[in-house]
Structure formats: structure tokens, C-alpha cells
Amino acid sequence: MADLEVYKNLSPEKVERCMSVMQSGTQMIKLKRGTKGLVRLFYLDEHRTRLRWRPSRKSEKAKILIDSIYKVTEGRQSEIFHRQAEGNFDPSCCFTIYHGNHMESLDLITSNPEEARTWITGLKYLMAGISDEDSLAKRQRTHDQWVKQTFEEADKNGDGLLNIEEIHQLMHKLNVNLPRRKVRQMFQEADTDENQGTLTFEEFCVFYKMMSLRRDLYLLLLSYSDKKDHLTVEELAQFLKVEQKMSNVTLDYCLDVIKKFEVSEENKVKNVLGIEGFTNFMRSPACDVFNPLHHEVYQDMDQPLCNYYIASSHNTYLTGDQLLSQSKVDMYARVLQEGCRCVEVDCWDGPDGEPVVHHGYTLTSKILFKDVVETINKHAFVKNEFPVILSIENHCSIQQQRKIAQYLKGIFQDKLDLSSVDTGECRQLPSPQSLKGKILVKGKKLPYHLGDDAEEGEVSDEDSADEIEDECKFKLHYSNGTTEHQVESFIRKKLDSLLKESQIRDKEDPDSFTVRALLKATHEGLNAHLKQNLDVKESGKKSHGRSLMANFGKHKQKTPKSRSKSYSTDDEEDTLQNPGKEGGQLYRLGRRRRTMKLCRELSDLVVYTNSVAAQDIVDDGTTGNVLSFSETRAHQVVQQKSEQFMIYNQKQLTRIYPSAYRIDSSNFNPLPYWNAGCQLVALNYQSEGRMMQINRAKFKANGNCGYILKPQQMCKGTFNPLSGDPLPANPKKQLILKVISGQQLPKPPDSMFGDRGEIIDPFVEVEIIGLPVDCCKDQTRVVDDNGFNPVWEETLTFTVHMPEIALVRFLVWDHDPIGRDFVGQRTVTFSSLVPGYRHVYLEGLTEASIFVHITINEIFGKWSPLILNPSYTILHFLGATKNRQLQGLKGLFNKNPRHGSSENNSHYVRKRSIGDRILRRTASAPAKGRKKSKVGFQEMVEIKDSVCEATRDQDGVLRRTTRSLQLRPVSMPVDKNLLGALSLPISEAAKNTDGKENYLVQI
């Protein structure tokens, strides 16, 4: 951050003075909402990685990671400070620490201004150092901190020494299941000082290295070093070229690797890489599964905006749910710096003529529109200069609309000036490159027929805020002495019970589909609405359901909702617009429209992002229309007219936003809409979970700039994304993924017994996410009682029809008798995978990783479906028709079946019984402790001719259940030795049974 630059150059004396004060601790008052201030001792831990305080009832949670601090502000700037009386505290003694994904604030008051200044300076210095780190330095720092913290937590009596019993307890916590005799032997070898029977921190580091010796990496090193315990420069170069598929490998590069990663000074002098250095190199970002080149912008940025997926946020200002959570301007700063390029601003009339931002008809807090614009202006282009789209939801009166326009022009200034933007060919949107440093206002625009002299006019009022159902609104009527606080307290309790009842949490379990599980209070209203729709359909009224734009325009008749708007309704006749062959047929629906008044000043700020309703689209040659859909309406369009939808998205932009029933701010599955070419798929960035992980992974490529180029097939021409073979003329990609081992896999985060629980039994699941035909899962066997260094050595094979939009999701699970517990995940775009031996670090976990080997081949020509994707073609063997396949694949989309299907209630929830879960566990989980056996040629023929069983998850993803045994190509001695001959000496293990050396064979 720009404001941290000055802190990088503090004098060493000043830095040490700040650190000394902070580590000694300072008594401060901690302000909390609704309570008096609490006096606590705040201190920086000895590693300078955590801010802690005491006393605290939750001692383990009483900490803030320096890495998680977003910013530190001086004075009384936070909302909690603003609630305090003006003269209560000296502003020079006050400061606020904002941290975490939800911008939580820690509001502190010191006894004098000097202490406050010391803490602010020290914290900003630490934040500046972290922001300046490269990935290698951060990896090393987090590893060192993890080892030190592990030692301290194991040191129960705090004497700085670990005895053998504490080591045994630590081994259990680390999920290591070694014989006590082996542990004692390593303990004695590491215990070299005079104080026998205990390990100092330095001795513990030796013990930990012995315990962590990677046999898989050691065997890999041996296979390239002619069975020596080190690699020469030439041997390292050969390994990088052959296995890691690196081009332009020079001797200087190899010497630099040795200099950076080798720990032995003797080896450095000899220019060789030993096992410790090789391990450090293989665990470094240089051998991460994600292509390091994709950390920078590498795609063509000169194509029209409609050719890109654009990272988009919904309800950007909210920190939590849509009913009661806080609105904060800092959420805009956070999402913009995360790479989001389209933010939402809900504008409403505020007091004193000042427009405010909040979620209408709810108890979410309000923030000033002016503050939002200033925050966006400050942070929009800190991380990258590609354009930001401001999605304005306008609910204001004409007077406050003019104030909005005034703030936008006054604060953004030339960032709004698009007069010099090059649009390239006629009737084409400008490119991200040509719009660098610009802010686009997405909103309503006055119709052309009004003329330029009209001060105001009427426009259709179709936006996401109007999707709020009446049942979800708060209409507060105080009576009998009821106060606003009592009403809020009642609503908060009601919301908490609803959240618990419906279990609305975005986890890996596909049953947690919140649109269907949410709000029992609105259930009757929903059923009445569904019944009304069915009655209308059965009454024989004219339906345009088979046309694309008819689906676009299915709107419910609504009543006026705000006195600050002027509405009118017009009767429209059914008129058919034919914009040409490419656009498909656009129908105008016969219905009563609702309108609102819009001022000229605000309308003129909208240039390339004009919000339009489906029935207003005409082929008048203009560009820059943005069509908005809720997820439920968009789902209908994708299911019924996906190809026409894709053609529309080749010329204009489409924004998809979450259903209003997601009051918990959960997220829908963005995949179906990306598959149809929709650019602005808006998610709740404040809600962590599977969907945000997928979104984050998609946009991490291309320098995390918020723009990802769509595949060429989506930009020109068309195809059916729901087809069984959508691109028959294109080559497919075959992913051969060997899952070798795991490292330091922790117990599941919600483990019932925490560290005292059983050692985990891990297995790895790999999921392909993309077009429906590509979506598939496969998994390894279960390894018993080992989370520290489990070995699977299994090969999973997938075929991908459209790799440009596919993602590969690695998940680690802990097997248990009635199901599985989620341990961790990492999702990577298929195009960012790097071939060779790679570590997949699990997101959010310091040391946990899985070690894999990746090979990607191209498959040309017309291939048998069995060869392409065995799990997909099971349906052919079972006699399933194409229609039945596609019906099953519908589960990939928001599970809202069309009316008339067997599940015509879109809020239907299937609950699994315990017996059902056990059956599913035995059907889909790999056999615990399953042994691999060698298969002869004749057996392989028989297995290939047999048909394995396949099941579908409840989200429609094909899951391979009983995978046939297969011969795996030998890529290194690990294949044979790690599973079958771990007890053999290295010299024996490196040879075949006939005595010949087993050299590495490239997959």
C-alpha cells in the first residue's frame, strides 16, 4: 500500500524501540459495541507475527495475525468511536486496527499519545515488511514461525525444553503414528547437549528434520543423481528439463537454485544440491502447482469488454448477512485490492440531503455515499489499473440523484472522462487496455427520444434491489411502547434461529443449497406464488417461454416501494423485435411496467454500461447495454436457451446476482453462467466457502487483475455448453494426475475432540469443474492413521473438452465410519497447472500440502467416449439417452427445476439419513487401507472389458466409485518402493528384482 511505503525506511533504532515497547506490553482500553471499555494488556509475540491480549476468556482466540491486518487508523475514525460521546477520549490516544475478511475492528485507547504513536508506527512497519515480501521469503518465514510455534505449544511447562512425553503428545497432535521405539531413537540422536533427556529448540529443529525426511523426494533425488546423495549442476538441469518441463534452463539458473536453497556450506562450495536443499527447492513457490508466469498479466487485454469474465461483487458494502450486518466503506477497499473490478452501490435518500448506502428495507447500518466514492477513488487502482465498474442501484429522489452525480464528478474527475477511449471497430465495446485508470458508471440512461434538453425523464425500474420479496422486508411499526432496540433484538433472534434451522452455510456438502433451505417464514408465500404461476400456465394464457427474451423478462408485478421515487405504469402490447440472425429473437412481453424518474446529470455519466431490462432491448446499433438477472431467472435462460444467451454475451454484458432469499449472503454456483459466457457473475465477497474459493481461483490467473479472457469459441460462433460433446472438432486435454503423498495434514477444523482426537485417516479427492460434460470427481484410497506423511501413489486420469474454463479442485478429507470430514482444499485453473512434480499447498493452512506429478496430453480426432471419460460413458452402457444425461447434469446448476418436473417446488430439500450417509460412504469412499496389486496383461483386458459402477453426487457431478485397477507408468522408483519396499535399504530399493537399475521413465 502506498501509505505504508514511508514505514519501510524507519531507522533501526526507532524500529527496535517500537518492537521493545510492543513486546513488553501496554495496558489499553478495548472498546466494544454496547459495553463499557475493557482494560487489557496488549502485546506483540516474540516472533512479531501476532498481536495478543490478556486476560481473555478465549485465550486461544485472543490474537490477531499481523498478516490479517488490513489497515491501522489514527484517532476516532471507526463506527464504535463515533458512538461514544465527543469528549470521552482524547483522539490522539485512540486508534483502530481493521483485520480479517469481514473488516472487524479492534478499537483501542492508550493512556497517553506517545503509546498510541508507538503502536501505530510499529504495526505499520510490520505490515509494510509483509507487503514487500516475495513469495519465497514469505514461505520461509511462515515455515520458521510454524516450527517455533509448534515447539512453544508443545512446551507445556514453559521451561524452553521438551521431554520425551511432550514429544509423544506433539506427535499425536501432528498426526504422526510412529512406534514409540522409533521416536525415542530419533529423540536420542537429536539430544546432543549436556542436559540429557530434553530437547532445546535447536535440538528440536534437528529432531523435526529427521522426522520430516521425505523418502519420496530422497528417492527422486537418487534417480537423477546416479544414486548419490546430491545433485550436481548438470543433474539438476536435467531434472528441470525432463521432469519439470522447464525451457531455457541454464547452468547459472541451477547455481542460483543451489545458492538459495542449499543449507550445507560444504555443498554450496562444491556446487551440489543435497537432500535438504532439494527438499527446500521442491517445497518452494518455484515448484508450486500454479504457474508462476500467471502471477502477472499474460492474456491479450485489447479485446472488447464483453470478451472477458469480470470479477464482480454483490452488496459490496456489507460485512455479513443482508438483514442486520454492518455496512462499511472499507469493504470496497478490500475487494478492490483483492482484484474485484465491479462493485455494487445501493443508493437511498439520506438525512440532510446526503444520499446513503445500505440494503433497503433491512436493519443493515448506513454509510454515506460520499465516503464510499472517496474510498473507491483511493483504492480502485492500487493493485492494477484495469477499469472498475460502479454498479449503481438508484433508489433516490431527483434532488439526491443530483447530489450523487455531483460527488461522482467531483471526486472521480477525469477517471469518468471516456471521450478519448478508443472503441476500435464500429459498434464494439472498448477493451480493458483502452480503459485503464477509468471508472465506468453502470446505471440507467434516459431514452434518446427525450432529447438533450430534458432535465429528467422516466426509465424502467428493474434492478436487483427490487428483487427483495415483501416477506424479507422489515416494515417497522412501533406500538405499545415497543422500541427500535426491542424490535432489532427480536429480529436478530429470529434470524439466528433461521440460520441454525436451515443450516445455511456454504460448505463442501452439496445439500447446503441455501436458496431452497432458507426462510421458513416465507415458505407459504413462495408456495402461493409457485401455485399462482402454475395456475396461469394451466389456464391457457399465451406463453413466450420458448423464446430467449421471454425468459429474460419474467418479472412479477410489484407494488411501489419507496416514497422517494416517482413511479408510473404503462400497458405494453406484445411486439416482436428481430435484431438480426446473431441476436436471436427478442420478444417484448405484454405486462404493466414500472418506471422511476431519473435526472439528466446522473444519466449522462453512463456511457458503456447502460442497465436495461430484457423487454427494452432493441437492435438500434448501440453498444453498452448491461442486462441483469437474479440467479433464478438466469438459471431458466441457461437451461432453455443457452446458445442464444451465449450469442447475446458476444456483443453485450450480462450481470448475474444472488437471489434475494439468500439473507445470509451465501453464494450460488457461478459455473453455469460462466459456461454461458456471462461476464459479471456477482458474488458476496464477504462470505467464504466453496463458491468464493472457485471464484478466487478463476480470477487468480492473469495477474489477479479481475479480467479473464473468455475462450475464443465463446467470443465467436456458438456451441451448446450442455451437450455431451460440445466441441467435437477441437482436441481434448488429458490430465494424468499422480497423487503421491501428503505433508502435515491437520485434523479437520471442526474436529470434535480437537488435538486429542484420533489421528486422521486422509484421502484425496480431485474434482474437475467446467462444462457439464467435464465435471467429474475421483479419489484415492484411505491411508490409516497418518496425517503427517501419508503415501497414496495413485494415478487419476481425466479428460477435459474445454480446458480454458476448467478448474481443478484438490480436496483432502478425513475418513470416518459415517462419512468424511473436510480438512482443506486448493483450487487452480486448468490452464495454470504446471507439469512435473509439484506441491499443492492447501489454502489457508501454513504447512499442509499434497505432492503430485502432473502430465497433460492432447487427444486429437474422434475418440471413443470410453477412452475420453469412463465415468461419463457409464450412462451409455446403462442405456441412458442423451436427454436423460442432460437431465442429470442439471444438478450442476442452481437446483431450480422447471415447473412441471417431479420436484416442482424449488425450495425442496433432501435430507440424508444416517443410514443413507453410511451407504453413500461405502459406495463412494475408497476402501480404507486398500492395497494395490499387480495386474497381468490378461487381467487388464478383462478389467477394461468390464463396466465399473458410477454414481452422481446430489449436485449432479459424476463420481467414479469403483475404479478398475490400472497399470500406471513408472516415473520414478517411488512407484515401486514407497508402497512395497519401504523397509528395504536404499541401495536395494533403487534396483529392480533382476538387479538392474530402475531409471526414471517420463510419463
Mean pLDDT of the 678-706 span: 95
- CA–CA dist 526, 660 (Å, integer): 12
**Number of C-beta neighbours around residue 22 at 10 A:** 22
| Higher-confidence position of 982 and 323 | 323
pLDDT > 90: what percent of the chain?
41
Q: What was the pLDDT predicted at 943?
A: 32
Three-state DSSP class for 311? Answer: coil
| Higher-confidence position of 109 and 208 | 109
Mean pLDDT of the 450-473 span: 66
pLDDT > 70: what percent of the chain?
68
Q: What was the pLDDT predicted at 877?
A: 37
Q: What was the pLDDT predicted at 133?
A: 57
| Higher-confidence position of 435 and 871 | 435
Report the candidate in 884, 857, 877, 915 with the shortest Cα–Cα distance to residue 733: 857
The residue with cell 460413458 is 873
| Higher-confidence position of 465 and 687 | 687
Q: What was the pLDDT predicted at 918?
A: 34
| Higher-confidence position of 749 and 335 | 335
854: its cell numbers: 502432473
Asked which of 85-89, 307-311, 496-500, 785-789 is least confident by mean pLDDT, the reply is 496-500
Residue 515 has pLDDT above 50, yes or no: no
Among 99, 230, 358, 907, the active-site one is: 358
- CA–CA dist 406, 750 (Å, integer): 50
Name residue 804's amino acid.
E
Query: Catalytic: 314?
Result: yes
Confidence of residue 926 (pLDDT cuts 50, 70, 90): low
CB 737 within 8 A of CB 798: yes
Q: What was the pLDDT predicted at 956?
A: 52
- CA–CA dist 262, 12 (Å, integer): 30
Angle between the 398-412 and 369-379 helix axes, to the nearest 10 degrees? Answer: 20
Q: What is the pLDDT of residues 371-389, one digit of tens each?
A: 999 999 999 998 899 999 9
Mean pLDDT of the 415-442 span: 88
Report the candidate in 287, 267, 265 with the shortest Cα–Cα distance to residue 225: 267
Confidence of residue 889 (pLDDT cuts 50, 70, 90): very low
What is the maximum alpha-carbon separation in the chain?
Answer: 96
The residue with cell 515455515 is 143
- Share the mean pLDDT of the chain: 76
CB 255 within 8 A of CB 281: no
Mean pLDDT of the 589-608 span: 80
Confidence of residue 622 (pLDDT cuts 50, 70, 90): low
Among 314, 379, 853, 907, the active-site one is: 314
Strands 198-199 vs 50-54: parallel, antiparallel or unpaired? unpaired
| Higher-confidence position of 246 and 509 | 246
- Those residues whose C-beta lies under 8 Å from the C-beta of residue 277, and which sit 6 or more positions away, are 258, 261, 262, 263, 264, 267
Strands 958-960 vs 776-779: parallel, antiparallel or unpaired? parallel
Q: What was the pLDDT predicted at 810?
A: 97
Q: Has this prediction a pTM greater than 0.85?
A: no
- CA–CA dist 809, 953 (Å, integer): 16
Asked which of 100-109, 361-370, 396-405, 827-836 is least confident by mean pLDDT, the reply is 100-109
Q: What is the pLDDT of residues 547-574, one digit of tens each?
A: 344 434 433 333 333 334 444 444 333 3
Asked which of 645-654, 944-953, 981-990 is least confident by mean pLDDT, the reply is 981-990
Residue 273 has pLDDT above 50, yes or no: yes
- Those residues whose C-beta lies under 8 Å from the C-beta of residue 764, and which sit 6 or more positions away, are 739, 742, 779, 780, 792, 810, 811, 812, 813, 850
Asked which of 275-289, 325-339, 737-751, 778-792 is least confident by mean pLDDT, the reply is 737-751
Q: What was the pLDDT predicted at 704?
A: 95
Three-state DSSP class for 968? Answer: coil
φ, ψ of residue 732 in degrees (nearest 5):
-100, 160
Mean pLDDT of the 123-135 span: 74
| Higher-confidence position of 1000 and 707 | 707
- CA–CA dist 378, 35 (Å, integer): 33
Asked which of 190-204, 416-430, 735-749, 834-848 is least confident by mean pLDDT, the reply is 416-430
- CA–CA dist 955, 160 (Å, integer): 51
